[in-house]
Amino acid sequence: MILITMAYNDSAFCTRCGARLRESDTFCSKCGASRSMSSQQYYSQYRTPEKSSNTLNILGILSLAWAVSALFFGLYCILEAGPIEAEMWNSLIEQGIYPGDLDFDLHTFIVAFGAITAASGALAAITAFLCFVKRFYIIAFVACLISSFLVLPIGIIGIIVAFAILKSKSEFKVIGSTL
């Protein structure tokens, strides 16, 4: 009975290719894998995520929606800064505020605001892509956080998405896995 148990023990077979190992073998003669790695260690290291949910797809869609909106609005502000500035001055003059009353350049402010918003959108696009391909969760998390901080207070939603990415890190594929 003891011999039968040893024959079917995990350590009697290679954890990588399944070849039978002798007791004296330290490496598999067929594939070269180390015997010291148990099958539990092997499968936990090279496994694909066990649970598959739509969380990353939803986070990717949210990030993509923000990316498209922010890129469009940011580029619009950059390209149409002159007309936007004129419209804003008309509104300010109606309220009794004149160009000489402000200590900053409104045109530069509009362009800078557009550039920051577009940068937030670009980072959100990176986040969306990484959520869809389920790779590099830490980069997705950091890109989402930076994207969110660029456009506070609207970015509060992005911060929530960033922490949802961090919570869903087990759904991202392990680097080196075949799937």
pLDDT digit string, tens, across residues 145-169: 999 899 877 778 888 888 888 888 8
83 preceded by a cis bond (ω within 30 of 0): no
35-63: average pLDDT: 67
Domain holding 147, by residue range, is 55-171
Cβ partners under 8 Å of residue 165, min gap 6: 56, 59, 127, 131, 137, 140, 141, 144
- Considering the domain architecture, whether residues 35 and 89 belong to the same structural domain is answered as no
- Considering the domain architecture, whether residues 21 and 70 belong to the same structural domain is answered as no
- Considering the domain architecture, whether residues 70 and 37 belong to the same structural domain is answered as no
- Considering the domain architecture, whether residues 8 and 61 belong to the same structural domain is answered as no
Domain membership flag for residue 36 = yes
Residue 38: strand, helix, or coil:
coil
pLDDT at 82: 93
Domain membership flag for residue 22 = yes
Domain membership flag for residue 119 = yes
| pLDDT above 60 (res 43) | no
- Considering the domain architecture, whether residues 29 and 86 belong to the same structural domain is answered as no
This prediction's pTM: 0.64
Can you tell me the distance from the alpha carbon of 1 to that of 16, in angstroms, rounded to the nearest whole number? 27
Domain membership flag for residue 177 = no
| pLDDT above 80 (res 88) | yes
